[in-house]
C-alpha cells in the first residue's frame, strides 16, 4: 500500500533581482527585474507504507521544497501528490494529525520554556488523550535518554539534546508519516549515533513511513536501504544504495599487503595509488579492469593479503552531484551561446 505518491510535482518561484547601488535600487522601485527559479521539476516517486528512504541532494537541489510540498506548507505550481490518501496543500485537520515534519535548522519548541511546556501545548493542539500522552512521553523520553532534561529551559540544552526534544514533540501524536530534514545537522558523533539508533528502533517498532534528508552518509547507511537522489530539482536516481555505486561509480579499490621484503614499484600502471604505507597499498582501479589487474599483481608480486572494495558511498554521491552541476553549467553556457 502506498503512503506517499508524487506525480510530476513542480514548484517555480519568481525571484526579485536586486542590483547593487543606490541608483539601481531607485530604478528598481519603478522597473523590477525578476528571474524564474524552478525549485522542483516534474518529480515523481512512490513510497510504500512503513518504508524509510533517504532523499539526497546538494544544497539547493530541491529536497526541502519537496518535503514542504508533501507536508502542505506550500502549493505546487503543477503536478499532484497524495500522502496517506490526502492532497497535502488542502491542509485538512485530519491529515495534519497524521504526519510530522522535523527540520534540523528550525525550532518548534519554545526557546525560553522547558520542553515539557511545549509538549503540553502539543497535547492540546493534537487533542491527545491525557493517558496516551503520558505513556507516549514516558516512552520517548526514556528511549532518547532525556527524562531529567524535560524541565530545563530549551535554550540551556545542547544541540543534540534539543534535537532529541524536537523528535519527541514530533512523535507525541503518533504520526504515520515522518518527514525529517537534516535531523543530525551540526550534531557531534555521539548525538548523531543516539538519534540514528532511536530512529532505527522506532521506525521498526511503529512501522511508520519516513523520508530522511541528510548530508551525513552515516545516517543514510545506518537507516535506509533505498535512496532518491535529487539535483537541480530533478530526480537522478531512485533505487538501492548499492545501486548508486553500481550506476555511478566507475572504480573499485584494491587493498594489498605485500610480503616482507617485497619491493612494490610501478603500481601507477594499474590505477591511482591512494595510499602506500610500507607493504600496505591501496589502489583505485577501473571496475572493468579489476580481474586483469588482480591476476597481474598476483603473478608479478608476492602478496600476503588482498581485498577489493567499492568506493565509499559519500565519495560516489559527491561525484554525482558534481557531475550533475557541471552538466547543468554546460547546458546554461550552450544556451547563452545560442542566444542572439
Q: So what's the pLDDT on residue 248?
A: 82
CATH number at residue 115: 3.40.50.300
190 with 234, same domain: the answer is yes
| pLDDT above 90 (res 138) | yes
From 245, 280, 300, the end of a domain falls on: 245
Q: What residues contact residue 170 under an 8 Å CB cut-off, 6+ apart?
A: 100, 101, 102, 108, 178
73 with 175, same domain: the answer is yes
* pLDDT band of 323, cuts 50, 70, 90: low
227 with 155, same domain: the answer is yes
208 with 254, same domain: the answer is no
Give a yes or no: residue 323 inside a domain.
no
Give a yes or no: residue 21 inside a domain.
no
129 with 195, same domain: the answer is yes
Q: So what's the pLDDT on residue 10?
A: 95
236 with 255, same domain: the answer is no
- Which residue carries 552531484 as its cell? 321
Give a yes or no: residue 340 inside a domain.
no
Q: So what's the pLDDT on residue 325?
A: 54
**Residue from 213, 211, 157, 218 nearest 193 by CA:** 218
Q: Could you report the per-residue pLDDT of 161-219, keeping only the tens digit for each?
A: 999 999 999 999 999 999 999 888 888 888 899 999 999 999 999 999 999 998 888 88
Please tell me what DSSP assigns to residue 46.
E
Mean pLDDT of 255-272: 86
150 with 294, same domain: the answer is no
- Global pTM reads 0.80
From 190, 218, 245, the end of a domain falls on: 245
Could you tell me which residues are beta bridge partners of residue 284?
253, 272
Give a yes or no: residue 193 inside a domain.
yes
143 with 208, same domain: the answer is yes
From 193, 221, 245, the end of a domain falls on: 245
Give a yes or no: residue 200 inside a domain.
yes
Q: What residues contact residue 168 under an 8 Å CB cut-off, 6+ apart?
A: 115, 119, 137, 140, 141, 144, 146
Q: So what's the pLDDT on residue 335?
A: 34
Mean pLDDT of 324-333: 47
Mean pLDDT of 35-52: 92
Lowest mean pLDDT segment, chosen from 50-64, 207-221, 295-309, 310-324: 310-324
* pLDDT band of 316, cuts 50, 70, 90: confident
**Helix, strand, or coil (residue 184):** coil
Q: What residues contact residue 6 under an 8 Å CB cut-off, 6+ apart?
A: 43, 44, 45, 46, 66, 69, 70, 79, 80, 81
- Which residue carries 539526497 as its cell? 56
Q: What residues contact residue 23 under an 8 Å CB cut-off, 6+ apart?
A: none
98 with 189, same domain: the answer is yes
| pLDDT above 50 (res 272) | yes
Q: So what's the pLDDT on residue 59?
A: 83
| pLDDT above 80 (res 152) | yes
| pLDDT above 50 (res 336) | no
**How many domains are there within the chain?**
2
From the CB of residue 286, how many other CB atoms can be counted at a distance below 10 Å?
Answer: 14
| pLDDT above 60 (res 70) | yes
Q: Could you report the per-residue pLDDT of 234-261, keeping only the tens digit for each?
A: 898 899 988 888 888 888 999 999 988 7
Lowest mean pLDDT segment, chosen from 87-91, 245-249, 256-260, 276-280: 245-249
Give a yes or no: residue 17 inside a domain.
no
205 with 303, same domain: the answer is no
* pLDDT band of 41, cuts 50, 70, 90: very high
Give a yes or no: residue 255 inside a domain.
yes
Give a yes or no: residue 32 inside a domain.
no
Q: So what's the pLDDT on residue 340?
A: 37
233 with 259, same domain: the answer is no
- The grid coordinates listed for 287 are 571496475
168 with 262, same domain: the answer is no
Best mean pLDDT range from 121-135, 215-229, 245-259 = 121-135
User: 125 or 339: whose pLDDT is higher?
Assistant: 125
Sign of CA dihedral 187, 189, 194, 200: positive
| pLDDT above 60 (res 273) | yes
Structural domain boundaries enclosing 88: 2-8+43-245
Amino acid at each position: 500500500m502506498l503512503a506517499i505518491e508524487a506525480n510530476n510535482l513542480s514548484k517555480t518561484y519568481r525571484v526579485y533581482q536586486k542590483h547593487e547601488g543606490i541608483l539601481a535600487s531607485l530604478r528598481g522601485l519603478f522597473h523590477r527585474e525578476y528571474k524564474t527559479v524552478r525549485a522542483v521539476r516534474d518529480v515523481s516517486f512512490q513510497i510504500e507504507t512503513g518504508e524509510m528512504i533517504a532523499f539526497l541532494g546538494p544544497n539547493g537541489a530541491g529536497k526541502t521544497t519537496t518535503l514542504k510540498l508533501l507536508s502542505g506548507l506550500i502549493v505546487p505550481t503543477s503536478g499532484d501528490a497524495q500522502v496517506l490518501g490526502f492532497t497535502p496543500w488542502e491542509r485538512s485537520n485530519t491529515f495534519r494529525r497524521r504526519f510530522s515534519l522535523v527540520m534540523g535548522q528550525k525550532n518548534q519548541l519554545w526557546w525560553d520554556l522547558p520542553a515539557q511546556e511545549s509538549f503540553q501545548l502539543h497535547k492540546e493542539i493534537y487533542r491527545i488523550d491525557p493517558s496516551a500522552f503520558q505513556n507516549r512521553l514516558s516512552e520517548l523520553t526514556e528511549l532518547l535518554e532525556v527524562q531529567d532534561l524535560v524541565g530545563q529551559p530549551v535554550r540551556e540544552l545542547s544541540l543534540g539534546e534539543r534535537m532529541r526534544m524536537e523528535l519527541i514533540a514530533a512523535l507525541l501524536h503518533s504520526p504515520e508519516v515522518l518527514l525529517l530534514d537534516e535531523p543530525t545537522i551540526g550534531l557531534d558523533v555521539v548525538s548523531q549515533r543516539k538519534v540514528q539508533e532511536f530512529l532505527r528502533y522506532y521506525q521498526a517498532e511503529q512501522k511508520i513511513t519516513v523520508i530522511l534528508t541528510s548530508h551525513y552518509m552515516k545516517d543514510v547507511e545506518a537507516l535506509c536501504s533505498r535512496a532518491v537522489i535529487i539535483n537541480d530539482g530533478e530526480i537522478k536516481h531512485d533505487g538501492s544504495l548499492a545501486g548508486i555505486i553500481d550506476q555511478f561509480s566507475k572504480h573499485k579499490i584494491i587493498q594489498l599487503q605485500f610480503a616482507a621484503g617485497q619491493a612494490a614499484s610501478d603500481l601507477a600502471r594499474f590505477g591511482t595509488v591512494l595510499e602506500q604505507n610500507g607493504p600496505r597499498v591501496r589502489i583505485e582501479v577501473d571496475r572493468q579492469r579489476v580481474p586483469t589487474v588482480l591476476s597481474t599483481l598476483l603473478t608479478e608480486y608476492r602478496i600476503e593479503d588482498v581485498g577489493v572494495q567499492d568506493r565509499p558511498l559519500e565519495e560516489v554521491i559527491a561525484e554525482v552531484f558534481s557531475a550533475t552541476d557541471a552538466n547543468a553549467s554546460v547546458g546554461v553556457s550552450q544556451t547563452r551561446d545560442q542566444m542572439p
